[in-house]
Amino acid sequence: MSQGIQKNSELIFQRNTHFLSTAASLVPALQQYRRPALSLVNAVPDASQIHGWRTETCGTPAGLANREFGPGEEIVVDFGTHCVGYFGLSCEAAGSPPDAPAHLQFIFGETPAEIAEPFSDYDGWLSSSWLQQEDLYLDVLPAHVRLPRRYCCRYVKIKVISTSAKFTLRLSDIHLTTVTSADPSTIKSLSHPDALLGQIDKVSVLTLRNCMQDVFEDGPKRDRRLWLGDLRLQALVNYQTYGQNNLVRRCLYLFAGLTREDGMVSSNLFMKPEVIADDTFLLDYALFFVATLADYIAATDDLTTQNDLWPTAVRQMELALERVAENGILHDSEDWWAFIDWHESLNKQAPAQGVLIYCLKKGRELAQRCDLPRVAWLDQQIRRLDAATRSELWDEEKGFFVSGTQAQISCASQVWLVLAGVGEEKFRARIMANLLTTPPETGMNTPYMMHHFIDALISVGETSRAVQEIKKYWGGMVQAGADTFWELYDPKRPDFSPYGSKLINSYCHAWSCTPAYFIRKYGL
């Protein structure tokens, strides 16, 4: 097994060529499907809609056959559902022979707001280059066009910016060539007696499908990267639906193939021009390598992968334990050392403590299979952290765990320490009951955190309440018109974005696809 060294910024990364070549051998074939535009629509302001816009049908693509477009004219096409792929159309001149290039602009939207609100008003802190638009100049007409970039959309606005005064344009054959590595023939079909849960499952599966490319992307619009936190949840849904387990295996080998000099896995990877590890390292995401590997082995019994990647899993646990103080609690700090949730005021200490205990227990599952001498060490660490959590973080008077120097009470702290199995089951059930009756001010902002909330409810036997919460939260997105589930959803704050603008949010996001996992695994 050969090793290489790569520098990224001021960091040094280790490249394991065996792991990376294994990952390269598992690149999936992309399935391609031609999807024609279904209708022409207008975006209409509507304060009753979650983002302030709805669409109304105003025609069909067939009606474009005799329509001519001059400068300033535009149409919006609707593909009927969320798609990921390559946009194409045919364009020809009408009138005199073209004596100048035709300039067209395309704006791609996952939601009506994106094709209704001008991108020039965008004021978020993420790069505006993520806003999906493209300008095209056609020197020769007629032309059959396929845009080179992959887009993620349901709606496309096509605007003629300029022609000469001597000719206009006719547009036809407007279509997308959609791409995914998900094989629809492998999907496990579901017919659910509850119509809303059935629709939630359908939207979950489409969300996963559109994020399945050459890796499990976190979002096909943004960031188009392989993130470990998202991968863990996508893999769980995959085991219950498509069963394309080699894609999970590929992603695990990619993370193990490119680690920081001390062996820590990055929170996310770029795939092109080659595999590049991002210089963002998060304690919880690194630990999720352990959990994702354990879940994969439980689903596949793949001993080769288990034996190859177990040392990488051990190293994540060792590094996390180095952050534990003498009192048995993770050291807190003001930097971005753990993710947990998109929440500006959330203290990460207690929830990260829960993640650590949870992943040590996942590591113990693996050790029992392939490294029995290490089981005793893991048991010792789990007992130490469990006892410290109850003595240092539990507030009996308040009935909640507290976090940080300000003793913050948050939903995330309770959820993760319940999932970690701290205390007896009756104790954990009481915490969840308190959480439901007296929710803390520091709540949950993302479907990612909501997933763990649902998981915690099920873990203490509150299955019926879990169903209720799934229908309320993910069902709320369905009722708001979601074709795929969104990166962020807060019905009380419809325009919420941690990036400064709802236009840059992802409306097909990997960490949101998990209702299908719960519905299918637990027979909800």
How far apart are alpha carbons 201 and 514 in whole angstroms?
Answer: 9
Kindly report the number of other CB atoms within 10 A of residue 477's CB atom. 22
Among 343, 360, 337, residue whose Cα is nearest residue 420: 360
Q: What residues have CB less than 8 Å from 99, skipping those under 6 apart? A: 164, 166, 167
Does the bond joining 142 to the residue before it have cis omega, within 30 degrees of 0?
yes
pLDDT at res. 189? 84
How far apart are alpha carbons 87 and 101 in whole angstroms?
Answer: 20
Among 485, 463, 465, residue whose Cα is nearest residue 476: 485
pLDDT at res. 142? 97
How far apart are alpha carbons 127 and 507 in whole angstroms?
Answer: 17
How far apart are alpha carbons 465 and 471 in whole angstroms?
Answer: 10
Residue 400 main-chain phi, psi, to 5 deg:
-140, 160
Kindly report the number of other CB atoms within 10 A of residue 67's CB atom. 16
Alpha helices in 241-372, H assignment, sequence order: 245-257, 283-300, 303-321, 349-370
Residue spans of the domains in the chain: they are: 31-180
Beta strands in 25-118 (DSSP E): 31-36, 39-45, 53-59, 74-95, 102-109
How far apart are alpha carbons 182 and 193 in whole angstroms?
Answer: 26
Provide the angle, in degrees to the nearest 10, between the axes of the packed helices 349-370 and 373-392: 160
Q: What residues have CB less than 8 Å from 121, skipping those under 6 apart? A: none
Burial annotation 200-231 (CB, 10 A radius, 16+ → b, else e): bbebbbbbbbbbbbbbbbbbbbbbbbbbbbbb
pLDDT at res. 1? 37
What is the CATH T-level fold of the domain 31-180, as seen in this structure?
Jelly Rolls (2.60.120)
pLDDT at res. 106? 98
pLDDT at res. 494? 86
With tokens 């960490």, the residue in question is 511
pLDDT at res. 4? 54
pLDDT along the chain (524 residues), means of 10: 54 94 98 97 95 96 94 98 98 96 98 96 95 98 97 98 97 98 91 96 98 98 96 98 97 98 97 95 98 98 98 98 98 96 96 98 97 97 98 97 97 98 97 97 96 98 98 97 96 91 96 98 95
pTM of the full predicted structure?
Answer: 0.96
* Partners of 77 in beta bridges: 40, 156
How far apart are alpha carbons 291 and 173 in whole angstroms?
Answer: 47
How far apart are alpha carbons 306 and 29 in whole angstroms?
Answer: 25
How far apart are alpha carbons 340 and 183 in whole angstroms?
Answer: 32
Structure tokens belonging to residue 504: 């840059």
3-state class of 64 per DSSP? helix
pLDDT at res. 448? 98
pLDDT at res. 311? 98
Residue 142 main-chain phi, psi, to 5 deg:
-70, 165
Among 150, 1, 36, 173, residue whose Cα is nearest residue 85: 150
HSE of 122 in the Cβ direction (CA atoms, 13 Å)? 22
Alpha helices in 371-459, H assignment, sequence order: 373-392, 411-419, 425-437, 447-459
How far apart are alpha carbons 329 and 317 in whole angstroms?
Answer: 15
